[in-house]
Structure 1
Amino acid sequence: MAKKKICNKGLISDLPDHCLCHVLSFLSTKDAIRTSVLSKRWRSLWQLVLGLDLDSRDLGLGFSSSRFSNIDEFVKLVDKFFNLHIESWIHKLRLHIRTFGSVDYTSYLTKWIDAATTRRIQHIDLHCELLFKVAVKVPLSLYTSKTLVHLRLVRVNLVSADFVSLPCLKTLHLEMVRYTDETTLEKLISCSPVLEDLTIIKYTEDNGKVIQVRSQTLKRLDIDQWYDRQYGIVIDAPLLQFLRIIAYEIKNIKIINIGLTAKVDIDANVLSILDPNDLTIRSMIRDFLIGISRVRCLVTSYATTKDIFLYMKLEPLPQFCNLSELSVICSISNLEMLLNLLKSCPKLESLRLKLVDYEKGKKAEVMSSTVPPCLVSSLKFVKLLFGYGCGTKLKVAKYFLENSTILEKLTLKNDYKEENVKHIRQTLHEIPRCSSTCKVVLYS
C-alpha cells in the first residue's frame, strides 16, 4: 500500500488576513504583539485586530520583557490603536490600568471611550487599580452607546447623567464602582431595555442607600453588598431566572417580583442582628419570605437559615408551593426546625443538607414524630453533608430512609476518614427503608 503524501497545505499562515485577525482577537494584545516575531507576514497583523486588550503591566512598544516604563508609553500604544482604526468599527476595548503614581486617567479615558463609542463598540471592560484613591470618571458618552452589548467597570466613578440610553446592552458588571447618587445606577438598569445579566459588587460608603433593580428583561442578578446596616435592596424583575445575594447585616431586602422558576441563592442576615420584637422588621422579613416563596430552587447559607428559623419561632412560614430543590446549611441543634421548614415545602423533590456544629455544646434535637408531607409525596433525592464535629449522620440518614415513601437516592458524605466505613455501610444497610427502590451512596 503506497504511503500517503505529506501535504504542507493547511498551515495557519495560509489563511487570509481577516481570518488571522479573528484568531488574534481572542488573545490579549500583549500575546497578539508577540506573534509579530513569527514572520514578515505576521509583523503587522496585530495592528489590524479590531479590539484592544491591554494591561498597563504588559509589554512596551519595544516588545521587551519589561513592563511599560511610564504613563506616556502606555498612552502612546492606546492612542496608536485608535489612530490605526480611525475609520474602522471597533469590537472590544479592555483596559486594566494599574497605578502610575497619582496620575488622573479621566482625560485619557474620556478620549478613548468617546472614540470607541463612535465606532460601534460592543464590549468595554475597564479596570482602574490606582493608588491614592484617584477618582477616575467615565465620560457621558458611555451612557448613550447605541451598540454596546457588554460593559464591565471596576473601581471607577460614574458621573450623574440626565439621559441614559443603552439599547443593546445585555451584560452589566459593576465592581467597587462609585456613583454620585442612586439614580445613576437605577438609570443604567432601567434604560437598558434588553439587559439580561447584572452583577453589582458594592462596598463604598458614598454610594446610595438602596440598590434598586427594576427590569422587565433581566434573567440573572448577582449582588454582593458586603456589610452595612444602612443599605437596602429592592428587586422587581419578573423574568429573573437566577438570583444570588450576599449581604450581611443589611437593612432590608425587598423582592417585589421574580420569575416563578428562578433559582435563588441567599447569604444574608437581617433578623438575627436587629430586634425581632420590632413589628416593622418582622413585617419586612415576612415580605422577603413571601417574595422568595414562589421560586423553584432555593439555596440558603447558615446565616440565612438562622434568620428563617428565628422567624419561625415568631410567626408561621409562608408555603413554598413551587419549591422543588432546596439546599440548606443548619446547625445539628436545629434539626426539629429544619423539619418544620420542610413542612412548608409540599412539592420538594431534592434536598441538599449540610449540618454544622457551630453552636458548641448544644445537642441535636429529637427528630419530629410528624413527618413533613413532602417526604410522603414528592421527595426523591437527599444529599447529606456533615461538617467537622457532627456525630449525628446515621441518625439523620435513618430518619429520611424510614420516612421517605418515594425516595430514590440518599447520598451521605463521610468526613471522618478514621471511622470504620465498613461499619457505617453495614448500619445503613440494616436500616429499614420506606422506599424499596432507594439507593444509598456513601462517599468520603
Structure 2
Amino acid sequence: MLELNYEIRATTHAPKQKQKRKLNIDLNKDLNEDDESGNLDLISGLPDDVLIFMLSLVDIKTAGRSSLLSKRWRHVWTHLMDLDFDNPETTAIAMTLKYTSYALPEMDNYVKCVNQVINANGAPYLNSFRIHFPLSIFYAAVINNWLKFSFSKEVRNLEINLEGGCSRIHFSNIFSTNPAMIVNTTLESLHLSSVSIDGPLLEWVVSNCVNLQRLSLHSCKTRSDIPSKHQKLVVSSLKLKYLEIFWCFRPLNIQALHIFAPNLTSFVFFESIIDVEYRNVTSLVDAAFGGPHCRHIFRNLGILSGFSSQLEKLSIEWCQVRSASSGFPTFANVKQLEIFYSQTDYNSFSLTSLIEACPLLHTFKLKLCLHRSWIESPNLPPKDAQVKAIRSHQHLKTVEYVGYGGCAFASELALFLTWHVPVVNKFIFDPHPSLYVRKPRTRVYSSKYRDKLEIARRHAELLAKQIQIRRGVDVVIL
C-alpha cells in the first residue's frame, strides 16, 4: 500500500485554511482497472505536475515504488526535482558504522540507490539534492559524479553531509574545475559537513555563486595533515542571508573572519577564533555564538554593541563565566533568548543579568549540558538587586528547559523565574539531551536512551509540581 499525505488550500474568499488529506493506493492493483468509485482512475488522470507534487511528499524509495502502479505512473517519479537521500532507515544504518577508509556493504547499497535514482532522473533541473551518509574516501569519485550531476541540473539547494565518514574527500577541485561553477546563478543554498575544503574555496564559492543565500559548514577540514599558513576568511556578499559555521576554522587554520553582508539576517558561529570583524551586518536580527569565541565575547562585551539593538533572537554558550557578567549592552529588541549552559561552577542566578539586558524578552530557553562526573557546588542565593530587576520584567512569558535531568541549580532558577517574573505563564520541559547552540540533534531510539528520557521526565514532573504549587503556570513535558 502506498500512502501519500498532501494538503489542499481553500480558494474561497474566506481566510485560507489547510486541509490534510490522505491517499492510499494499492500497489498490487493496476490503476487502469475501474473500481466502483472511479477515484483512483481520476487520480491517474491528473496532470504530471500534480502527480510529481504528490510524490515529492514521500521519500525516494516510496516514490520509486509508485512505478509499479501502472503504465501511467511508470516514469512519473523520474521527474522529481527534490532528491533527498536521507531518511530514518538510512540514518539508523549510518549510526552503526564506524570510521573506515574502505568500502562497506552498507555504503555500497547507499551508493547503488543514489546512482539508480540519478541515472533515471529526467527532470530539467533540481530544486534540492541532499546526501547524508558516512561514506569513506573510497567513494570520492562517485561523490564527484553526483556533484557534476547536480550542477548539470542547475541545483538550487545542495547538501553533502558525510558526518561519521572520511573527511579526506576534497571538494576544492570539484568546485573550481566545474564549468557550472565559474559563475553560478542557480545555487542558493550550500551545506557541507565533514568534507575537506580550504579557505580560498570558501571565498571562491561566495564570490562565484552570485545568488547564494545560505552557507552552512560543519566540521570541515583540510585535505592535508600539514598545517597551512594562517588565513583570513573574507565573506563578502550582497545576497547572503544565512551563515552557519561549526568547528571548521581551527582545522582550516583560519585565524580571522571579516563579514561584509548587508542582507545577512542570521549568523551562527561556534568556533575557536577570536578575530571577527563585522563590517556591514545592518540586517542581522538572529545571532548564535558558541565555543571558545564566547569566552572572548564575555571578556569584551563591546563586540556585540555594534548590532545589539537590531537583534531579535540571541543564542549564546555560557561557558567559563567566572562571575555574574555585567555590562551587557541593551538588546532592545530581543524577544527570544537561548543559553547553552556548559559551566561547572554553578551560579544560575548570574544568568539573570543577560535576561535583564533584554527588556522585551518573551521566551527564554536554557539548554543544559551537564556531565555526571561534575559535582554541583552550592548555588549562591540571588542578590536583592537581581530579585528587584527580575520582578520588573514585564514581557517574559515562556521558559523552556532542554536536557533537564534534575540538577539542583537549574531547579532553583526555574522556581526563581516562575515565582518572581510577574507574567510567566508557561514552562516547557524537553528531556532530550541538548547539543550546542542551534546544532541539530540526532535522536537515538535505543532502549538505554529511552530509559534516560523516562528518568528525565520524572525529574521534570517533580519540578512541575513545585512550580504549579508556588504559582499557577501551564507546564508542558515533551
- TM-score, length basis structure 2: 0.60
Q: 2:218 aligns with which of 193, 201, 217?
A: 201
CA contact (8 A) 2:302 2:329 kept: no
Q: CA deviation at 1:199?
A: 1.1
Question: Which structure 2 residues correspond to residues 78-157 of structure 1 after superposition, within 5 A?
Answer: 81=120, 89-91=124-126, 94=129, 102=138, 105=141, 109=144, 117=151, 122=156, 133=168, 135=170, 137-138=173-174, 140=176, 142=178, 144=180
In structure 2, the residue matched to 1:37 is 68
Gaps of 5+ in 1: 59-65, 146-163, 273-280, 430-438
> Partner of 1:301: helix, strand, or coil?
strand
Gaps of 5+ in 2: 1-34, 91-104, 430-456
CA deviation vs aligned residue, 1:309-353 (integer Å, no higher than 9, x gap) = 56948xx33333333332325568324533333443344444344
Seen in structure 2, the aligned counterparts of structure 1 residues 355 and 363 have a Cα distance that, compared at 3 Å, is farther
CA contact (8 A) 1:300 1:329 kept: yes
CA contact (8 A) 2:352 2:390 kept: no
Whole-angstrom CA distance in 1 between matches of 2:275 and 2:212 = 24
Q: 1:188 aligns with which of 205, 208, 222?
A: 205
Whole-angstrom CA distance in 1 between matches of 2:428 and 2:50 = 52
Q: CA deviation at 1:390?
A: 0.5
Whole-angstrom CA distance in 2 between matches of 1:172 and 1:98 = 18
In structure 1, the residue matched to 2:191 is 173
Question: Could you tell me which amino acid in structure 1 is paired with residue 124 of structure 2?
Answer: W
CA contact (8 A) 2:144 2:174 kept: yes
> Partner of 2:221: helix, strand, or coil?
coil
Higher Cα Rg: structure 1 or 2? 1
Whole-angstrom CA distance in 1 between matches of 2:337 and 2:152 = 48
In structure 2, the residue matched to 1:275 is none
Whole-angstrom CA distance in 2 between matches of 1:312 and 1:94 = 44
CA contact (8 A) 2:221 2:248 kept: no
In structure 2, the residue matched to 1:296 is 312
Q: CA deviation at 1:442?
A: 4.5
1:401 corresponds to 2:435: no
Question: Could you tell me which amino acid in structure 2 is paired with residue 138 of structure 1?
Answer: I
Q: CA deviation at 1:252?
A: 3.9
CA contact (8 A) 2:267 2:288 kept: yes
Whole-angstrom CA distance in 1 between matches of 2:460 and 2:85 = 48
Seen in structure 2, the aligned counterparts of structure 1 residues 355 and 379 have a Cα distance that, compared at 3 Å, is farther
Whole-angstrom CA distance in 1 between matches of 2:68 and 2:266 = 46
Identity of aligned residues (%): 19
1:235 corresponds to 2:278: no
Q: CA RMSD in A?
A: 5.0
In structure 2, the residue matched to 1:411 is 427
In structure 2, the residue matched to 1:388 is 406
Q: CA deviation at 1:383?
A: 1.9
Whole-angstrom CA distance in 2 between matches of 1:268 and 1:91 = 36
CA contact (8 A) 2:82 2:127 kept: yes
In structure 2, the residue matched to 1:225 is 247
CA contact (8 A) 1:346 1:373 kept: no
Whole-angstrom CA distance in 2 between matches of 1:131 and 1:355 = 30
Seen in structure 2, the aligned counterparts of structure 1 residues 188 and 265 have a Cα distance that, compared at 3 Å, is same
- TM-score, length basis structure 1: 0.64
Deviates more, 1:234-243 or 1:384-393: 384-393
In structure 1, the residue matched to 2:26 is none
> Partner of 1:407: helix, strand, or coil?
coil
Question: Could you tell me which amino acid in structure 1 is paired with residue 354 of structure 2?
Answer: L
Whole-angstrom CA distance in 2 between matches of 1:215 and 1:311 = 38
Q: CA deviation at 1:121?
A: 5.1
Aligned length: 381
1:378 corresponds to 2:394: yes
CA contact (8 A) 1:256 1:291 kept: no
